[in-house]
Amino acid sequence: MVMVFQSLVEFAVFHAALRDQFEVFLDEHRSALHDSLNGLTEEQARRSLVASKTTLLGLVKHATFVEKVWFDEAITCRSRAEIGIPDSPDESFDLHDDDTVASVQRAHQQACAASRRATAQLTLDDLVRGNRRGPLPLRWVYLHTLRELAQHCGHADILREQILSGTTRHA
């Protein structure tokens, strides 16, 4: 079987250490969510197209919550109140009047940078002890976060397509 690589970067990632592979994929998904807001008006970013609280702006705000839960709470053992995040994931989608595309993107970028700093000295086998599930290896945290970000990137793709096409389908 012959492997075909789309770029030198893809080739380098394929041969990189597992930790580096996780981080490249996490950063790709972080960027995709961040960029899902690019070029949208404030109204478009807040537009609700589904029965849940999910909006594009809310997805990126929720992704910021995810970063803080998994790379602050889980690693530092600080409470959500100390971190300044909601108690529940559902609340993390709530939009406030002062939430804008720029402010939510900035908060997301800051949270991602803090996540990278928090894990810089850890190995994939190091245990993080601040999660409600109990001690977990960093490897599991990376996998869980990657799974969640990938799911939300799919949501963002669909919502953005609907917003930009100007059409929505109602059942």
Task: Return the structure tokens found at 142.
Answer: 């990376």
| CA dist., res. 97 & res. 77, Å (int) | 30
Classify residue 74: in a domain, yes or no: yes
- The reply to whether 90 falls in a domain is yes
Neighbour tally for 150: CB within 10 Å: 15
Asked if residue 17 belongs to a domain, the reply is no
Position 5 scores a pLDDT of: 52
The pLDDT score that the predictor gives to residue 9 is 58
Give the per-residue pLDDT at 7: 61
Contact criterion met (CB below 8 Å) for 45 and 102: no
Does residue 76 lie in a domain region? Answer: yes
Residue 87 belongs to domain spanning? 51-166
Q: What is the pLDDT of residues 99-148, one digit of tens each?
A: 999 999 999 999 999 999 999 999 999 999 999 899 999 999 999 999 99
pLDDT at res. 2: 54
Question: Which residue positions in the chain have pLDDT lower than 50?
Answer: 168, 171
Asked whether residue 101 is assigned to any structural domain, the reply reads: yes
Structural domain tally of the chain?
A: 1
- The pLDDT value recorded for residue 99 is 98
Residue 157 domain-assigned (yes or no): yes
Strands (E), 1-145: 127-128, 136-137
